[in-house]
């Protein structure tokens, strides 16, 4: 099967960055609002990721308040539906609920959060119906491994799947072996979540690597900004989250190519790419 021709988006997603919003619904995490405004206004970041699951819709509501007043065409809003809502009764009410909480009349990208028991024929048909109604621009999936994508590609319009949002970071590179090449060959855009490996435990800690930290100190770039660039270099739209303006600014600094190549050599030695197939890690 060959990759289908995609409509181009207004933004270049592969190799770009996006801000995640997990935990934003909690009153303690108000710092994200300032990060979102600065990321959009100063850095031209446009991808914002949320889900109906996060705080049971409260995260979408909090995000909706922050983006009020930002021109809609400056944003690329990504939202996710739970697999248990993938049925006649719940699909459109879930989608309309997310739109209402976000205060928008369309999503740029709507994803099935994980496969669960979802009927993939229903998924493709409903998502396409939502596209036809102008409620979403693109649709996709999250946490789909290669066999899941193979199943999806067998159903009618399954090849309209635009994106697969998966866990990928320097600490977990398993998808490089065959999932990523498979997605690329089918024109399915990779988006990485937890790109800094935050929820992945136990994991190695880049801050404990003497050579990498020496390079970071000598050049003044944070290891996190290098890690994000690693994801972008693999073609991912790399999602990260931060409640700190200082971290946001560090992460979005442009790392010069020469510095990045030095980092890459050290990172490949410390966190080697996979040499065998392994199941997709989901967190």
Ligand X SMILES: NC(=O)c1ccc[n+]([C@@H]2O[C@H](COP(=O)([O-])OP(=O)(O)OC[C@H]3O[C@@H](n4cnc5c(N)ncnc54)[C@H](OP(=O)(O)O)[C@@H]3O)[C@@H](O)[C@H]2O)c1
Q: Which residue of the chain is nearest ligand X when measured via CB?
A: 20
Q: Which is nearer to ligand X, 1 or 279 (CB)?
A: 279
CB of residue 227 vs ligand X: minimum separation in angstroms? Answer: 9
54 catalytic? Reply is: yes
Tell me which residues touch ligand X (CB under 6 A).
20-22, 49, 113, 142-143, 165, 193-199, 222, 224, 239-244, 247, 250-251
Q: Which is nearer to ligand X, 156 or 199 (CB)?
A: 199
CB of residue 25 vs ligand X: minimum separation in angstroms? Answer: 11
Alpha-carbon gap, residue 60 to 25, rounded angstroms: 8
Q: Which is nearer to ligand X, 234 or 242 (CB)?
A: 242
Catalytic residue among 85, 113, 186, 247: 113
- The answer to whether 47 touches 237, Cβ cutoff 8 Å, is yes
Catalytic residue among 17, 54, 171, 221: 54
Q: Which is nearer to ligand X, 132 or 195 (CB)?
A: 195
- Give 93's contacts (C-beta < 8 A, 6+ positions apart): none
Sign of CA dihedral 86, 235, 70, 31: positive
DSSP string, 116-147: TT--HHHHHHHHHHHHHTTSEEEEEEES--HH
Alpha-carbon gap, residue 227 to 212, rounded angstroms: 11
Alpha-carbon gap, residue 219 to 199, rounded angstroms: 28
Of 232, 236, 237, 239, residue with least CA distance to 264: 232
Bridge-based pairing state of the strands 136-142 and 237-240? unpaired
Q: Which is nearer to ligand X, 194 or 209 (CB)?
A: 194
Residues forming the active site = 54, 113
């Amino acid at each position: 099967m060959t990759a289908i021709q995609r409509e181009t988006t207004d933004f270049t997603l592969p190799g770009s960055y996006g801000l995640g919003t997990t935990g934003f619904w909690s009153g303690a995490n108000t710092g994200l609002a300032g990060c979102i405004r600065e990321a959009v206004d100063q850095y031209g970041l446009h991808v914002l990721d949320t889900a109906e699951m996060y705080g049971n819709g409260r995260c979408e509501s909090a995000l909706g308040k922050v983006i009020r007043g930002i021109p809609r065409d400056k944003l690329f809003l990504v939202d996710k539906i739970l697999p248990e809502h993938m049925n006649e009764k719940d699909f459109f009410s879930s989608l309309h609920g997310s739109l209402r909480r976000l205060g928008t009349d369309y999503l740029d990208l709507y994803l099935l959060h994980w496969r669960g028991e979802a009927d993939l024929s229903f998924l493709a048909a409903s998502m396409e119906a939502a596209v036809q109604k102008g409620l979403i621009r693109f649709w996709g999936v999250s946490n789909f491994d290669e066999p899941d994508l193979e199943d999806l590609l067998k159903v009618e319009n399954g090849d309209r799947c635009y994106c697969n949002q998966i866990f990928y970071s320097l600490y977990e590179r398993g998808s490089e072996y065959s999932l990523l090449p498979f997605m690329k060959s089918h024109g399915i855009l990779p988006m990485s979540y937890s790109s800094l490996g935050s929820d992945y435990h136990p994991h190695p800690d880049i801050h404990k690597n003497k050579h990498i930290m020496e390079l970071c100190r000598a050049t003044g770039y944070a290891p996190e900004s290098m890690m994000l660039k690693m994801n972008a270099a693999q073609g991912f739209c790399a999602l990260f989250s931060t409640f700190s303006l200082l971290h946001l600014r560090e992460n979005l600094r442009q790392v010069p190519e020469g510095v990045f190549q030095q980092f890459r050599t050290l990172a490949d030695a410390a966190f080697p790419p996979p040499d065998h197939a392994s199941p997709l890690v989901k967190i």
